[in-house]
Structure 1
Amino acid sequence: MEEDSVNGSPARFFDKDKDCIEIGCGGGATINRVAKKFRQCLGIDIFNYTEPFKEQQKKWDAHNSAFRVVNLEKDEFTEKFQRIISFEVIEHFQNEDTVSKYFDILESGGLAAISVPNKWWIFETHGAHLPLLPWNRVPFFSWLPRPLHERWANARIYTKSRITRLLEKQGFEIITCEYVTAPMDVLKEGKLKRWLLKNIFNSNSTKIPFLATAIFVLAKKPSPKG
């Protein structure tokens, strides 16, 4: 998972002297799981996940986390954090340049752990509205040219170059960018799943694009020069 990629990065992401915000936290499974590795944590989402967030707080005994309904594309948000987590969120923004808000939220020298769906994965992870095809995860649909894909897809997908260009455009410095392998969680337990996990998807990351469901990026907001 993306947390493993953070752990393996050359930069120290987890820090009990830092405050962390998760953008697009959903029910809070991620931010509450890692809450004890930070000073204070805030999870925000455009939907009200107050109750499931409380359940995750209880599950992980997270006393330093909070939830708030925030839409970064519409709401003013002026708080600052030293760490950002945002997994599988950017692709859902109406305008991908909304990631400029990430840069504004992050303090100088701060780090952002981001993941987006990988274009070269065999299946379309977020599905698509395809005529005459009730099953929306058609193999290789994600490999179509961008104009065709974005006409029918439920969300954008990214190549390494596209996501790094987007983040660098906002001022971020890219520390690491890697392919994250498929978790195989949709497969039933059995011989096939065990074989795949042992022989194909036996690492959290890969250099082979079509074996990865997502792209993980660790980015930094540079400190002012001088």
Structure 2
Amino acid sequence: MIDVPPLTAEEIQARVLHRDGLMLVIDKPAGLPVHRGPKGGANLEASFDALRFGLPRPPVLAHRLDKDTSGCLVLGRHRKATASLGLLFKHGKIAKTYWTVVEGGPIDDEGTIDLSLGRLNAERGWWQKPDPEGQKAVTNWKVLGRGAGLTWLAMEPVTGRTHQLRVHSAATGWPIVGDNIYGNGPRFGEPILHLHSREIGIPISRNKEPVHVVAPAPVHMHERLKACGWNGQ
């Protein structure tokens, strides 16, 4: 787990991956929560005023990513667009691919995890656990590369449960590198969670192809991605 200072206007503008009249897709840094927490502190929303680009109001979150997850984050630029995006996320119409580096890894080269999830307990809020009585949760995965004791995966959440990829990975025996809740990650410092929202496909306009956005791999994942055969692209 790391804490990142708030982004300046220039820094958040430099992280815009896609912009049109309806939405923005930005490259969220790891270590910065999307919302202001109960104790305050740095958060991504505090910088959204710099993303108005001529509109009267700043954009708003169409979904959320965990504090330590990096990559594609979608913002609605006005109320109607945000409502449309919210429905697309709610009904699973948005294609999402995450890159992860996991400890160990699967024997097969691709597969599906179908494991229902429920809340761990009332005290832990968002934390989840495998629970046969919980909400259905399905993740497709594919091996992109392997290294010494590590595997680089593309994971596609079919459902959108809280912490789904993190719990599914850990429950299957290959926790995500740096996961300080479900895996063997440190409480503070290195390694940072190796979970990155790599690609997103958004069918925002009925008569057009989905908007497809790719976020570059974050620096903190480069070393282990390269160990698994990543060529820097």
TM-score for the superposition, normalised by structure 1: 0.29
More helix by share: 1
